Structure 1
Amino acid sequence: MARAVWKGHLQVAELSCGVALHAAASTAERVSFNILNRKTGNRVQRQYVDEETGKPVERDDIVKGYELASGQYVLLDPDEIAEAVPQSDKTLRIEAFLSCPNIETVYLDKPYHVAPSDAVSETAFAVIREGMRTKNVAAIARTVLFRRVRTVLLRAQGAGLIANTLNFDYEVRSARDAFADVPDLAIKGEMLDLAKYIIETKKGAFHPSDYDDRYDAALAELVKAKMEGRAIKPAKPKPQAKVVDLMEALRRSAEAGKATGKQAKPRKTGAKPSSAKAPRRKAG
């Protein structure tokens, strides 16, 4: 079983059960590099340097500071920061339930898998999970995670729950600013019909395994080629078709979809995509 990153209790009203959070996403499998000295081949270390004197600063002399004005700071010692951090009682308290379709995804942050932490908690956990599944609701809960008070969204999935920490309101930028200059155009007639037809021919389902990290795969292939003494030819970008008329572009797209019969191709199962990735082993 995967190692839990947090253990505590899930509580709703008077019902409580022990739960464990497991990281649902990880970057550990990405290709990673070490920083080396080109001349010696040795790894290099980062070092803090005084901005004014240029001299190295010892770890014990490093403190955090909040800038009040240019060059003026309020200094905060680690002990002072630790005392200001909210104390955790290791309880994930459900404060409200809401309809699943009403969740704004822009607020979703890191995902976690939630499971009962022991056999004693399994029944109470199942009651909460099945109640949420039956009512098709998500739960909003709060707790202290990793020294910060976090709001968490819980949803039933499979035998457990999926938890997403939520971005705070001040962290999410308003869409109003981003869309301020976008005109509200009314699209009708053939143009809208063609758009709907193109969407229909492109219908499918989301299977995460169908989408690879091309940047990571390219880095892995580069490392493998260097190990084997091969040269890598840079991939040439595909030429973009130049279509000036929007209506003509829509018609061509519709014709292309009609010619290929591209409509929700059945997904192959059991076949794994070939991979040219080098072994996931950190250098050094």
Structure 2
Amino acid sequence: MARPIWSGTLTFGLLNIPVSLMAGERKTDISFRMLDSRNNRPIRYERVNSETGEEVAWKDIVKAFEYDKGSYVVLEPGDIKSAAPESHDAIEVEAFVDVDQIGPQYFEKPYVLVPAKKAEKGYVLLREALERTGKIGIARVVIRTREHLCAVMPQGDALMLMMMRYPQELVDVGEYRLPEGESRDYRITDKELAFSEQLIQTMAGEWAPDEYRDEFRERLQDVIGRRMKEHGVVSAADQEPEVHDHAATNVVDFMELLQQSIQKNQRTPAKKVPADAPAEKPKKAAKKAAKGAAKKAPAKKAATKGTAAKKAAGKAAKKTAARKKAA
């Protein structure tokens, strides 16, 4: 069984549903390695200095941003970490929108959300609510160090998570030279348009994805199969995601959480506490730490005195034995 890419909680309102993020696509591309024809050994790519031609060790490599041609600013590891988001264990739904509002160019890569044990109720609740309302959830998820925009949408029995592109990643179609205007501006007759529509109707049918196959890959795979030997497959042990105490398992009062979420969104946001306002908890913690230190200090002193007394007694015993020997 496949291993989860990410494990955490799917959050909307006050409901937290423990889920695992599983791959929703399977790579079928056939990749090739370049070999030396003289002995069929792989060609290795080396990290070399563009000026000296010498190989560079990993420990001597730093990351830099090229802000101009040939001009770089070197970044420390801490610089990149400081820009990374803090939350890594939650898919936080920020809004629900109509699925028709989002163009296909925004969707990038599919994943499947799989509920943890005893979290099926919350999973089905969200799936059915999205199905009935015709909405999808717009959320953010952090995988490794990058924050991704994503959409949570129902698909049969599953909740799918679709990775999305940010608007800044899309090219404005207005940058290209495209035919604008109506069909009559291009001397398209009503008869031509009618025949085109008729052709489309004759070719119309139901979507049957199983009918479409990568035939080139299959033929190439047959060729490779005749030239290779079979190898064993090692499968890794499956991991169950950790379920938190606050997670929305099947025994949680969903009505109470849903009502609290609705009231929270309807209430006016509370005023933010100024950054320079005095905090009570740190003071209490400091007092507690001071008391603890005071209690430990006498014990430490006593222990030190006892050690010193033992050392003095040992020295006196050695001197007495030396005198007796001399006498």
TM-score, normalised by the number of residues in structure 1: 0.73
Q: Distance in 2 between matches of 1:217 and 1:183?
A: 43
| Unaligned residue ranges in structure 2 (runs of 5+) | 233-327
Find the counterpart in structure 2 of residue 33 from structure 1: 32
Q: Which moved more, 1:106-115 or 1:175-184?
A: 175-184
Q: Which residue of 1 aligns with 2:54?
A: 55
Q: 1:161 aligns to what SS in structure 2? A: strand
1:198 aligns to what? 199
CA contact (8 A) 1:7 1:117 kept: no
Confirm or deny: 8 A CA contact 1:18 1:116 kept in the other structure: yes
Which of the two has greater helix per residue? Answer: 2
Q: Once the 2 structures are TM-superposed, how far is the Cα of residue 182 of structure 1 from its aligned partner?
A: 4.7
- Indicate conservation of the 8 Å contact 2:88/2:143, yes or no: no
Q: For 1:78-97, what aligned pairs fall within 5 Å after superposition?
A: 78-97=77-96
Distance (Å, rounded) in 2 between the aligned partners of 1:161 and 1:145:
18
Paired with 1:108 and 1:115, the residues of 2 have a C-alpha distance of: 20
Where in structure 1 are there 5+ consecutive unaligned residues? 228-277
TM-score (normalizing by structure 2): 0.64
Amino acid at match of 1:82: K
Larger RCO, structures 1/2 (Cα 8 Å, 6+ apart): 2
The amino acid that maps onto 1:170 is Q
Structure 1 contact 87–147 (Cα < 8 Å) conserved = no
Say what the alpha-carbon RMSD is for the aligned residues.
2.3
Superposed displacement of residue 79, structure 1 = 4.1
Q: Radius of gyration: which is bigger?
A: 2
Any residues of structure 2 matched to 1:154-233 within 5 Å, and which? 154-182=152-180, 184-186=182-184, 187-224=188-225, 227=227
1:126 aligns with 2:124: yes
Residue 26 of structure 1 aligns to a residue whose secondary structure is coil
Partner of 1:75: 74
Alpha-carbon distance in structure 2 between the residues aligned to 1:103 and 1:209 = 27
Flag the 1:210–1:179 CA change in 2: closer, same or farther, 3 A. Answer: farther
2:229 and 2:161 map into 1 onto residues whose CA distance is 31
Aligned to 1:141: 139
**Letter of the structure 1 residue corresponding to residue 125 of structure 2:** V
CA contact (8 A) 1:31 1:280 kept: no
Measured against aligned partners, the alpha-carbon deviations of 1:228-269 in whole angstroms (never above 9, x if no partner) come to xxxxxxxxxxxxxxxxxxxxxxxxxxxxxxxxxxxxxxxxxx
Q: Return closer, same or farther for 1:149/1:18 CA change in 2, 3 Å cut-off.
A: same
Moved over 6 A (4+): 278-282
